[in-house]
Amino acid sequence: MPVSSQRHVNHSIEQVDFAFARGVNSVPVVAAEIPRAAHEYSIVFAGSGDAITPVAVLGLEGEENLYVDADGKWNANYVPAFVRRYPFVFVQSEDGSTFTLAMDEGWAGCNQEGRGNRLFSDGGEKTPYISEMMGFMEQYQANFLRTQAYCKKLNDLGLLESMRADFELADGRKISLGGFMVVNRERLKALPAETLAELLKTDELELTFIHLSSMDNFAGVVERTVRRRSEESAPKAAPGKSKEKGEKLASK
């Protein structure tokens, strides 16, 4: 719903958890965050035509995010901005000329009991929190437009190629992940010197090499997959009672 002082004067936002992202195996990232995101995620490209965007790979299977645990905690040092902005989104008008801040009222952290940060004062004035979030969203949108230009340049130069990654887990099970693109390193090296110089000047060449280097992070996703499957198959311990508070269980 569009955020307004009339509808949301009594609403607050409490950052409870990231359970809402548990069922996605990738999320978009903007170019400005690729250097940080690439430390932990494989950054690939998805989409087609003018709708190509970089994405961070979060899992090897369709509806599984390996970075969100059973308690809704995000287990990584960097959380993509696409996730951090929730429950807020920008809704674009049909003609694309304006953006309206909206939010997911059904999210667990959205409440009218005063938990967390209020959006408006009793008099309907914006609080520092909602003003900060609007600034964050505006910056995100600006970065998104710059990212679109970067992806268009890669596509126009013919650098993107479809890719499928095949993995074999320790138990012998095989998983294939497709539907994404990567930069072809040989085509990149074959670009004219003036084109490479332009990419270097705009920092887009650096982003491209960071993307290529981030492919090594697929190994970490495989490790997380193995760990998750091991946890799922492990027998559940029967509940027991300790003799006194603070007693430690014996181990061998």
pLDDT value of residue 247? 32
Beta bridge mates, 166: 176
Reported as a single tens digit per residue, the pLDDT across 136-156 is 999 999 999 999 999 999 999
pLDDT value of residue 248? 29
Reported as a single tens digit per residue, the pLDDT across 206-215 is 999 999 999 9
For residue 105, which amino acid is it? Answer: E
Other residues' Cβ atoms within 10 Å of the Cβ of residue 29? 25
Q: Are 107 and 86 in contact (CB under 8 A)?
A: yes
Domain range annotation of the chain = 5-231
Question: What is the b/e burial string over 217-243, where b = at least 16 CB atoms within 10 angstroms of the residue's CB?
Answer: bbeebbebbeebeeeeeeeeeeeeeee
pLDDT value of residue 173? 78
DSSP character at residue 86 = T
pLDDT value of residue 236? 57
pLDDT value of residue 242? 39
Question: What is the b/e burial string over 89-125, where b = at least 16 CB atoms within 10 angstroms of the residue's CB?
Answer: bbeeeeeeeeeebbbeeebebbbeeeebbbbbeeeee
Nearest-CA neighbor of 11 among 106, 91, 90, 85? 106
Q: Are 32 and 207 in contact (CB under 8 A)?
A: no
The C-alpha atoms of residue 143 and residue 168 are separated, in whole angstroms, by 37
Other residues' Cβ atoms within 10 Å of the Cβ of residue 175? 14
105: its two tokens: 């009222």
Q: Could you tell me which residues come within 8 angstroms of residue 68 by beta carbon, excluding any fewer than 6 positions away?
A: 18, 19, 21, 22, 74, 75
Given a cut of 50, the residues of the chain with pLDDT beneath it are: 240-252
pLDDT value of residue 241? 43
pLDDT value of residue 245? 36
pLDDT value of residue 226? 86
Beta pairing, strands 117-118 & 12-13:
antiparallel
